[in-house]
Amino acid sequence: MGVLTALAILAGLIVVHEAGHFLAATWQGIRVSGFSVGFGPALLQRSRRGVVYALRAIPLGGYVAFPDDEESSPFPADDPDLLRNRPLHQRALVIAAGVIANLLLAWAVLLAQGLVLGIPAGYSTAPGVMVAGVQPGEAAANAGLRSGDRIVRLGDRQLAGGQQAVADLVNQIRTSPNHSLAIAAERQGQSIELMLTPADQGGVGKIGAQLQPHGDEVFRRPRGPLEPLRQANHDLIALTRRTVAGFATLITHFSETAGQVSGPVKIVEMGASLARQGGASLFLYTALISINLAVLNALPLPMLDGGQFALLLLEGLRGRPLPERFQMAFMQSGFVFLVGLSLVLIVKDTSQLPAIQQWLGR
Q: Which of 167, 195, 215 is the last residue of a domain?
A: 215
Same domain? For 188 and 105 the reply is no
Q: Which of 181, 215, 249 is the last residue of a domain?
A: 215
Note if 315 is an active site residue.
no
Give pLDDT tens digits for 278-334. 566 778 878 888 888 888 888 887 778 888 888 888 888 887 776 777 666 656 555
Q: Name which of 272, 267, 305, 262 is nearest 289 in CA terms.
A: 267
The pLDDT of residue 123 is 66
The pLDDT of residue 329 is 63
Q: Domain containing 257: what range?
A: 1-9+86-121+227-362
Percent of the chain residues past pLDDT 70, beyond the cut = 76
The pLDDT of residue 53 is 93
3-state SS, residue 262: coil
Q: Which of 215, 242, 272 is the last residue of a domain?
A: 215
Same domain? For 103 and 252 the reply is yes
φ and ψ at 127, to 5 degrees?
-70, 150
- Segments in the chain below pLDDT 70: 1-3, 6, 122-126, 215-216, 249-280, 322, 326-362
Q: Name which of 192, 153, 157, 199 is nearest 174 in CA terms.
A: 199
The pTM of the whole model exceeds 0.75: no
| Count of structural domains within the chain | 2
Q: Does residue 63 belong to any structural domain of this protein?
A: no
φ and ψ at 55, to 5 degrees?
-105, 120
Q: Does residue 62 belong to any structural domain of this protein?
A: no
Residue 120, exposed/middle/buried by CB under 10 A (0-12, 13-18, 19+)?
A: middle
Same domain? For 163 and 208 the reply is yes
CA-atom Rg of the chain in angstroms: 23
What are the angstrom distances between the C-alpha of 307 and each of 18, 92, 102, 303?
16, 12, 17, 6
Query: Residue 165 is part of a domain; what is its CATH number?
Result: 2.30.42.10
